[in-house]
Amino acid sequence: MNESNDHAVVAPRRASAQEMPVLDLGEWIAGGDIAPLVAQFREACTHTGFFYVKNHGVPQSVIDAVFDATRRYMSLPMEERLKDKIDERFRRGFMPIGVTQHPGHKPDLKESYELGLDLPLSDADVQAGRPLHGPNRWPADKPWLEEAAMAYFNHTIALGKRLLRVFALALGQPEEFFLQYARKPMVQARLFHYPPQESPTQLELGAAAHTDYGMLTLLVQDPIGGLELRTKAGEWVAAPYIEGTLVVNLGDLVKVWTNDRYVSNLHRVANRTGRERYSIPTFFNLDYDTPVACLPGFVEPGEAPRHAPIKSGEYLVSRFASVQKYKTPAELAAEEAAG
């Protein structure tokens, strides 16, 4: 990292309604026509790859409860939380500041509690050592954390599966196309706490500028705000809290499906408010073995797709390893064998 290239990151203007539209899922969820939503989804995904959803079906009480539990947990003494420190194999539990570091940046100024699809040790994929497949890790003396987090997690899985229907139709596929790859989806949620930062800079932020990796990110943020994304013109804009909404954005694997037609956008977090910020992204990814490849209609006849086909899970694991201090299952097995 080059300190002399560092720049202060000042608060940008708010994203316009075109840069961050609000998609209303209410009518469709109530049994209405999906077509208008598909058109709005396509427009947003080819523009900034970011939008809000409202009337999304996740009860506000469930969202309030998971924020309350996250605040309560992150207020506990560090030594208490370190008892739940993330385990190398399954990557679930408390992740202190310092674990996530994007190349060329200082570590992100955030800490988190990580959870995912809760697979028992007897599960065939867990037995087979498939990366990131495993049981959640919960502090037994704080049942309120598991209760609130899993209630929220299960609702976002339902929302993610709903959005996959819209997504498939937007890409010219049958509505159920992605659901065939969401049998044991690699969904991960992160309960984030961002301490306030007086003067954010490009090198040191709550979350350094990055793109997400997979399919769909669903995010609830608290009223503090601080999420920023980059427009097509290269300008950073704020994606503030809007009551009753979640933020949705696309990840890099969508570029493979769509030959770069859909946007996986750079974004970052700067918490300049002087107050604690909390946010909870759920990363909705498909099954490990999903063959991700350019879909028909996204490449001209006679042209080759820009990205080689790839297995969803392998790609995700390689991306995690690039930003998190992370041991691969092979490295762990080698360590174990060495005693």
Ligand X SMILES: O=C(O)CCC(=O)C(=O)O
Q: Which residues contact 125 (CB under 8 A, 6 or more apart)?
A: 119, 133, 184, 288
**Which of 53, 69, 224, 269 touches ligand X (CB under 6 A)?**
269
- Using the structure block, give the residue that is written with the tokens 């769509």: 258
List, in sequence order, the alpha helices (H) in the chain. Answer: 26-29, 35-47, 60-74, 78-81, 124-127, 143-170, 253-258, 312-323, 329-338
Among Fe ion, ligand X, none, residue 192 binds (CB under 5-8 Å by kind): ligand X
Angle (nearest 5°) at CA 97 between 92 and 98: 95
For the four alpha carbons of 199, 203, 204 and 206, in that order, the dihedral sign comes to positive
Q: Residue 214: what are its φ and ψ, rounded to 5°?
A: -105, -120
Among Fe ion, ligand X, none, residue 279 binds (CB under 5-8 Å by kind): ligand X
Q: Which residues contact 301 (CB under 8 A, 6 or more apart)?
A: none
Contact status: 319 vs ligand X (CB under 6 A): no
Helix (H) or strand (E) run with residue 146 in it: helix 143-170
Site for ligand X in 168-197 (CB under 6 A): 190, 192
Nearer to Fe ion, 204 or 212 (CB): 212
Nearer to ligand X, 219 or 286 (CB): 219
Among ligand X, Fe ion, none, residue 221 binds (CB under 5-8 Å by kind): ligand X
**Which of 197, 279, 285, 312 touches ligand X (CB under 6 A)?**
279
Contact status: 282 vs ligand X (CB under 6 A): no
Contact status: 221 vs ligand X (CB under 6 A): yes
Distance from the Cα of residue 105 to its chain's centroid: 20
- Using the structure block, give the residue that is written with the tokens 């042209």: 303
Contact status: 227 vs ligand X (CB under 6 A): yes
Among Fe ion, ligand X, none, residue 227 binds (CB under 5-8 Å by kind): ligand X
Q: Which residues bind Fe ion (CB under 5 A)?
A: 212
Contact status: 267 vs ligand X (CB under 6 A): yes
Taking contact as CB under 6 A, which single stretch among the options 37-45, 46-54, 158-166, 219-227 is the one that binds ligand X? 219-227
**Site residues (vs ligand X, CB under 6 A):** 190, 192, 207, 212, 219, 221, 227, 267, 269, 279, 281
